[in-house]
A and B are shown apart, each in its own frame.
Chain A
């Protein structure tokens, strides 16, 4: 039996970093019929990354901006059957640990959707840092994870003629973050 390795430090440079929504993307995928990935995007979010010895990632999402690029479907997604944005307009993520696992960046934390908070794990990579043309120091990172939507009370589904259901429970989350140094 081997002891669990201590999480090793990430390469995120020390300091506070503010996520730039214009250079970033929050996306999700749901595989309808098990065949086709329906993709959605959430343009309205803010977030914060801390680098260095105690790295952290946190963010807030405006659920009313969720779109799958279809007005009727988006109306249903924001309704009580799904996100219930009238009562729960905000989604939140707060990391409990951010570490490296070999080449991977691993962020564990609590995700709150529809007032329900559950732990999730996101994995991805830190892409490095550089100066942009306007004098900002930027970092880039990507994270992906899978969540069970029914754990957050998003349980709507429709039966299929051959048995089974239209929507899977698993939803893939994909985050691409660019952040600007604040300190």
Chain B
């Protein structure tokens, strides 16, 4: 099984990207998690640029990786109580064209979020679930708020908090379980 992890923060030292990498490291056997690294190359959504076969290269790359994945892990920071613009923009591109033809449509997805504050991007995750659902994704139950995330990672960005690691592992396993359910013939 191939999962794709997307971090809604472009910062090099991003805690949300660290969560995505940590998820890849503790993926169960037989599950490969690719951390998408091309969100900085995705331009702001412009329907005028969204020409079949002629979309920007960064958009084509994003859509191809999402389409090739069996499931998605989206990790978002919380800006002004909601999802980062970077991640919302990626969802907007990946939700087109509507009505079943989009890479996001029917894709199983899990949400997570990390903040240095005490709430772990919970509001952002609630919004993210709603946005993904309207885009046609199958969002698994449960949020994964990681509060005071700077204490969970060491200076190299490796996850050192065993409790966070266990919650992240269970969340990924739940995503794998849901993404494994066969579709109707």
- Chain A positions within 8 Å of B, measured between CB atoms, are 71-72, 74-76, 78-81, 84, 86-90, 156
Contacts and interface: CB of A to CB of B under 8 A. Distances in A.
B99 A71 contact: yes
A81 B134 contact: yes
Contacts of A86: 106, 183-184
A80 B138 contact: yes
20 contacts: A74-B99, A75-B98, A75-B100, A75-B102, A76-B134, A78-B99, A78-B100, A79-B105, A79-B106, A79-B138, A80-B106, A80-B133, A80-B136, A80-B139, A84-B138, A86-B183, A86-B184, A87-B181, A90-B184, A156-B133
B100 A88 contact: no
Contacts of A72: 98-99
Give 6 nearest A-B pairs by CB, closest first: A79-B136, A75-B99, A80-B138, A75-B98, A81-B133, A72-B98
A8 to B, nearest CB: 40
Contacts of B139: 80
B134 A88 contact: no
Contacts of B98: 71-72, 74-75
Contacts of A78: 99-100, 136
Most buried by A among B99, B102, B135, B138: B99
Q: Main secondary structure on chain A at its contact with chain B? A: loop
A71 B100 CA distance: 9
A80 B137 CA distance: 7
Contacts of B102: 75
Q: Main secondary structure on chain B at its contact with chain A? A: loop
A81 B137 CA distance: 8
Contacts of B184: 86-90
Contacts of A87: 181, 183-184
A75 B133 contact: no
Nearest to A64: B100
Nearest to B138: A80
Contacts of B183: 86-87
Most buried by B among A71, A88, A90: A71
Contacts of A74: 98-99
Interface string B107-150: 00000000000000000000000000111111100000000000
A166 to B, nearest CB: 12
B181 A75 contact: no
A44 to B, nearest CB: 14
Contacts of A90: 184
Nearest to B185: A89
Contacts of A80: 106, 133, 136-139
A102 B175 CA distance: 54
A76 B139 CA distance: 13
B110 to A, nearest CB: 13
B162 to A, nearest CB: 33
A86 B181 CA distance: 11
B96 to A, nearest CB: 10
Most buried by B among A72, A89, A90: A72
Contacts of B133: 76, 79-81, 156
